[in-house]
Amino acid sequence: MGVLKNSEAARVCLHFHDDIAQRIPRAEAEACVALLKRACAAVYGENAVEVWGPCGSYRRGAASSHDLDVIISEEDGGGAVPLLPLLEHLEKRGFLAAHLQVPWSNNEVPGRKAAHSAPPPAKHRRGDVGYAVAAESKGDGRKARRAERPQTYMGSYARCQLPFALIYFTGGTHFNRSLRLLAKELGYTLSDQGLAQCKRSGDNNSGPRVWTGPSLAAATEEEVFAALGVPYCAPECRDDARLAALGPMPSPAAEPEPEDADSGDELERYEV
């Protein structure tokens, strides 16, 4: 029988299983985001970036969440914020106990702090992400989550991608799948980074879907829904929303191509 090889992320999850399994109350989620906002101000400067969150089930109105989803974007509408300085700042202050995924290579033993001796290139692509899980042991052998250290997912996005990222990170899973299926039926691809026309690449159109035009420009989530031809659905209604009977679905209008439009290859990782 072959040997099962766990990834570093899998080993970290096993190490912190009991802590990850805990639900995060709304008050604790809010405390975590408040800490992240203070950290962003210290790292990037006051009012330089915006922190959106918690997203996920918190934004959908749930009493508790499995983890935290947070989006970071530049206040002035520029590109994505490099996460490495923020992660280093949080780690130095004891916020991070272990990493599941970071924008650089991490081969540390689960439960130990990551080594930053080999930082990644200075250029960060849009959509760089970092995970963190943490736990604090009590004297009686039980483990409790510190309010400022729950399992956290941070995504960095350009301001022009924010409406799409908010939809993606708000969920729920079935609701997002319905939106992506609707976009696909219209000949588009919808991801956390944009809404664009696409086609299959490769021989016999059997390869990954790639963008064939620019992403729709949208300033709000409402504009994304309007482009898909469906009424806006508030976050608290997205768990059980059904799109099949929401009326006609006009095709999104093409927009001028932005200078830094993402390639379809970068979007494929979020396709169903």
Ordered structural domains, the chain, with CATH: 8-157 (3.30.460.10), 164-270 (3.30.210.10)
Q: What is the pLDDT of residue 233?
A: 93
Q: What mean pLDDT do residues 39-50 have?
A: 93
Q: What is the pTM of this model?
A: 0.70
Digit-coded pLDDT (tens) for 49-102: 999 999 999 999 999 998 889 999 988 777 788 888 888 888 888 777 777 666
Digit-coded pLDDT (tens) for 151-209: 788 888 988 999 999 999 999 888 999 999 999 898 888 999 899 887 777 766 667 77
Identity of the residue numbered 47: N
pLDDT for 260 beyond 80: no
d(CA 242, CA 240) in angstroms, rounded, equals 7
Q: What is the pLDDT of residue 17?
A: 74
